[in-house]
Amino acid sequence: MAIKTADRTLALFEMFAIEQRPMTLSVLAEKMGIPTSSAHGLIKTLQERGYLYEVSRSYGYYLTKKLQQQVDAISAGSPLLAQIRPYLQQLSDETFETVLLGKRQGDFVIYLEVIECRQSIRFTPEVGEVKSLHCSATGKALLGSLKHPELRTTLTRLTLDKRTDQTITSVKKLEAEINSHRPRGWYQVVGENIVDVMSIAATINVAGETYTLAAGGPIQRFKPLITKHAKKLLNTCRQIEHSLN
């Protein structure tokens, strides 16, 4: 259950990231879909904490650099991501596709790092994006790391909602696919979450925790090279585990 005040604060930050311009009180309230009085209270609080300033009466408000400073300080305290990032960049350079790192959070997977490739048409996930386990390659890889009894229990509990015509919504069919892919060590989705996009993923174990590494791109470009991409993916996973454990 979302906490309304926290949800609105984060929505405001995200709105500035999207718009990238100062906005007046009325514009912010309209875009966020909240009462002007609520937006006013939120803005005043953030002003008092030093995160917002009024550019002018006509232009409205914009973020100070305090938020960026806090984010930089937080990022500096995450040495694991700093250590893994060069391997993600290496894999992206080798495959010419977008690469990401994820971790399970309950019945979902959250993207912790994303390296977008330089292709004009590409897979464009976002850091902090949360995906269902059943229709993402990262999710399938995490499901594949479970022992058989736990896998069945987890699949039975999940909501296998249909995202595209290719999404697997049958527990029996999904379980069979995951088990059939265990021996090769990597998992895939082909248009199951986003039409015309496919991705592959494998798990890595670092300091006793399971993460998932994935690469993805347009089906037409990615699929003919899937065997080569999978080999590079698994090799990167081994490199990370050898280096960090």
Q: 214, 201 in Cβ contact below 8 A?
A: yes
The residues that bridge with 100 in the sheet, in sequence order, are 114, 214
Question: Do 4-69 and 78-244 share a fold?
Answer: no
Output the CA–CA distances (angstroms, integers) from residue 119 to 57, 102, 138, 149, in the order listed: 42, 22, 22, 41
Q: What is the mean pLDDT of residues 111-118?
A: 96
pLDDT for 228 beyond 80 = yes
When pLDDT is cut at 50, 70 and 90, the band that residue 1 belongs to is low
pLDDT at 80: 86
Greater confidence (202 vs 58) lies with 202
CATH class of 4-69: mainly alpha
Domain segments of the chain as ranges? 4-69, 78-244
**Strands of the chain, DSSP E:** 52-56, 60-63, 98-105, 108-115, 130-132, 187-190, 197-206, 209-218
* Cβ-defined contacts of 111-114 (< 8 Å, 24+): 111/138, 112/81, 112/211, 113/81, 113/84, 113/85, 113/88
CATH class of 78-244: alpha beta
pLDDT at 207: 87
When pLDDT is cut at 50, 70 and 90, the band that residue 116 belongs to is very high
Give the tens place of pLDDT for each residue, 86-96: 999 999 999 99
pLDDT at 108: 96
Give the tens place of pLDDT for each residue, 10-36: 999 999 999 999 999 999 999 999 999
Q: Which residue has the tokens 């990238």?
A: 20
Give the tens place of pLDDT for each residue, 121-164: 999 999 999 999 999 999 999 999 999 999 999 999 999 999 99
Give the tens place of pLDDT for each residue, 167-221: 999 999 999 999 999 999 999 999 999 999 999 999 999 989 999 999 999 999 9
